[in-house]
């Protein structure tokens, strides 16, 4: 599903964010990216949906080499990849259901389609009763659930999450992880960057550890350290 071959990313200021990374992620895997700040976790994730392009090496996603992909094909790629932000990035002037519907409207889905899919996904994330609320009326955990609903409403093959629990307390984090686990069980590949030792140790999934842009550990059913 995802494959990195000798991928190096050097930013314009000569900072090497990722150095000769080789990774193969199967369909339906749940992968934690761990490592200190600045170790290259975010760059790793941003390479997978073409927010960044590799300086050298090849990145394969869903059977396609995306580094050479023309810009006009990138939207099609991204429709297969859900993205979850640490700071949720909800639209403050839209309600919960409008925020989720927005992701489908933005790719031109017909209204009838949106009408059935949005309530279903809100049910899945446990927020059907808050559909009419605005983001500022929700707790941090609830806001992240909306963000997950928005990322998953189009049923992508891959879900990328950049520190999704970074702003949440431990109890709320457990709820979010249960939700991501549930989504993973539907066959969706999940790649999640995190600092949260507790959840990595509890979930015992594949762990890729980065240090100064290098992969120093790739362990099935791993722990944080």
Partner 1 sequence: MAFRIDYVARETGQNLRRNWLLALATIVVVAVSLAALGGVFLIKSGIERAFAKWSDDVSFIVYMNASAPQDQIDSVGRQLEDNPQVASVDYFDRTESYELFKRIFEKDDPEIIDTIKPEDLPTSFRVRPRNSDADVVQELAKTFEPKPGVYSVEFPSEQIRQIQRGAERATTVLLGVSVVLIAASSVLIFIAIQTAVFSRRREIEVMRLVGATNWYIRTPFLIEGLVQGLFGALIAGSGLGVLTALVVGDEGWLNDTILEKFAWTTANLTGTLLWLGLIGVGVGVVSSFVATAWYLKD
Q: Which contiguous run of DSSP H or E holds residue 45?
A: helix 41-48
Site for partner 1 (CB under 8 A): how many residues?
26
- Min dist. Cβ of residue 62 to partner 1 (A): 13
Q: Kindly tell me which residue out of 26, 107, 120, 181 binds partner 1, with binding defined by CB under 8 A.
A: 107
Using the contact rule CB under 8 A, the part of the chain among 29-37, 103-111, 133-141, 214-222 near partner 1 is 103-111
Which residues, 44 to 83, sit near partner 1 by CB under 8 A? 49, 51, 71-72, 74-81, 83
Distance of CA 102 to the CA centre of its chain: 18
Residue with tokens 């996603």: 61
Nearer to partner 1, 80 or 212 (CB): 80
Q: Kindly tell me which residue out of 102, 134, 172, 214 binds partner 1, with binding defined by CB under 8 A.
A: 102
Give the Cα separation of 120 and 90 in Å (integer): 19
Beta-strand (E) ranges in the chain?
2-10, 16-25, 30-34, 56-61, 64-65, 81-84, 158-162, 189-193, 206-211, 214-219
> Which positions ≥6 away from 169 have C-beta within 8 Å?
140
Q: Can residue 190 be called a binding residue for partner 1 (CB under 8 A)? A: no
Which residues, 141 to 160, sit near partner 1 by CB under 8 A? 150-151, 154
- Min dist. Cβ of residue 29 to partner 1 (A): 22
Establish how many alpha carbons lie within 13 A of residue 51's alpha carbon, considering only the half-sphere containing its beta carbon: 12
Distance of CA 90 to the CA centre of its chain: 15
- Strands of the sheet with 189-193, listed across from one edge: 81-84, 158-162, 189-193, 30-34, 206-211, 214-219
Using the contact rule CB under 8 A, the part of the chain among 23-31, 108-116, 133-141, 174-182 near partner 1 is 108-116
- Token code pair at residue 82: 């859900």
Q: Kindly tell me which residue out of 24, 26, 65, 105 binds partner 1, with binding defined by CB under 8 A.
A: 105
- Min dist. Cβ of residue 89 to partner 1 (A): 6
Nearer to partner 1, 77 or 223 (CB): 77
- Min dist. Cβ of residue 128 to partner 1 (A): 21
- Min dist. Cβ of residue 130 to partner 1 (A): 19
How crowded is residue 159: how many other Cβ atoms within 10 Å of its Cβ?
A: 22
Residues at the interface with partner 1 (CB under 8 A)? 49, 51, 71-72, 74-81, 83, 89, 91, 102-103, 105-108, 110-111, 150-151, 154
């Amino acid at each position: 599903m995802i494959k990195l071959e000798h991928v190096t990313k050097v930013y314009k200021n000569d900072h090497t964010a990722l150095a000769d990374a080789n990774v193969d992620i199967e369909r339906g895997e749940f992968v934690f990216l761990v490592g200190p700040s600045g170790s290259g976790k975010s760059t790793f994730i941003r390479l997978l949906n073409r927010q960044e392009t590799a300086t050298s090496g090849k990145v394969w996603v869903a059977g396609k080499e995306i580094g050479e992909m023309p810009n006009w094909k990138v939207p099609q790629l991204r429709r297969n990849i859900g993205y979850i932000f640490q700071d949720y990035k909800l639209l403050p002037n839209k309600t919960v259901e409008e925020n989720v519907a927005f992701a489908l409207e933005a790719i031109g889905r017909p209204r009838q389609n949106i009408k059935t899919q949005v309530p279903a996904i809100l049910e899945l994330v446990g927020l059907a009763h808050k559909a009419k609320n605005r983001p500022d009326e929700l707790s941090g955990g609830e806001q992240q659930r909306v963000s997950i609903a928005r990322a998953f409403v189009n049923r992508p093959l891959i879900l990328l999450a950049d520190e999704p629990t970074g702003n949440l307390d431990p109890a709320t984090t457990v709820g979010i992880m249960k939700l991501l686990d549930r989504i993973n069980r539907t066959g969706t590949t999940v790649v999640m960057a995190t600092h949260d030792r507790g959840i990595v140790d509890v979930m015992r999934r594949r762990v890729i550890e980065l240090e100064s842009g290098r992969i120093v550990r790739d362990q099935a059913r791993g722990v944080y350290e």
